A = this chain, B = another copy of it.
């Protein structure tokens, strides 16, 4: 057991979104972040050779995702942190950290979900587990993964920021559970929508989830929707983020002034140029000398 309060997890998980871009995205995030003094532990992840055709209970690589979730749990239980940072990887990397912190803080954890998507689908609608992670934590989502959450999130203590158009199924859950949301327009000039929620719900411990796809893909291009090898029209039917980096940074910083941040997840980083450079450099002369 470490005496450190904060644990950093590097989790280069790709199976939740079934894309080879996640592992380098995770490592690059960790490399770019300030070093700090907390221990960093890498959660072992099966390597990605190609998109996986494997479906288990309708979910791509469900067994590998379960094994990695258990590995993550083991690491967290060993370190017993009070706070967790997780660098993903696909959004599913956050299930265990959030579940652990909510149990640690007696079911009172607040979760700010900065994301273009609500991540509350189920295996009926979709086959990528990363789109179900918040559902799982609320006791909805994928029953196999929801069963791994001992203390469910209180939906009053979950708020969406930067959310885009949702599907009927997503709307049903959001309305039934009464979860609040702030659109990119609501957050364009100030963070009052989110600060008001923190005050109203008396949130004293907050986890901030950032799916980088909450950002506008023309300003920040290391996103699925900005893959330079694909025709942009391939993504027109997906809701895409509209926030800029200053707005996202300001929202995060404003929350630190009114509550205690006990968790931070940064996910869905797909650094195309770095991936392409790394592949090119692998076969360059002199670099293996």
A289 to B6, alpha carbons, bound, how many Å? Answer: 7
Within 8 A of B (CB), among A229-276: 229, 245, 248-249, 252-253, 256, 261, 263-264, 266, 269, 271-274, 276
Measured between beta carbons, the chain B residues less than 8 angstroms from A287 are 33-34, 36, 85, 264
Task: Check A289–B38 contact: CB distance below 8 A.
Answer: yes
Digitize A15-36: 1 where CB-to-B-CB distance is under 8 Å, 0 elsewhere.
Answer: 0000000000000110111101
A29 to B282, alpha carbons, bound, how many Å? Answer: 12
A102 to chain B, nearest CB (A): 17
Contact of A28 among B6, B218, B274, B285 (CB under 8 A): B274
Asked if A220 CB lies within 8 Å of chain B CBs, one says yes
A10 to chain B, nearest CB (A): 13
Task: Check B276–A220 contact: CB distance below 8 A.
Answer: yes
**Chain B CB within 10 Å — which of A31, A36, A269, A280 has the most?**
A280
**Chain B CB within 10 Å — which of A4, A263, A269, A271 has the most?**
A271
Task: Check B222–A218 contact: CB distance below 8 A.
Answer: no
Number of residues from A at the complex interface, CB < 8 A: 51
Q: What is the interface of chain A, defined by CB distance below 8 A to chain B?
A: 4-6, 28-29, 31-34, 36-38, 83, 85, 208, 218-222, 228-229, 245, 248-249, 252-253, 256, 261, 263-264, 266, 269, 271-274, 276-289
A-B contacts, 22 of them at CB < 8 A, read A31-B31, A32-B281, A33-B281, A33-B287, A34-B282, A34-B287, A34-B288, A36-B286, A38-B289, A221-B221, A222-B274, A222-B277, A245-B279, A245-B280, A248-B280, A256-B285, A261-B285, A263-B286, A264-B284, A264-B286, A264-B287, A273-B273
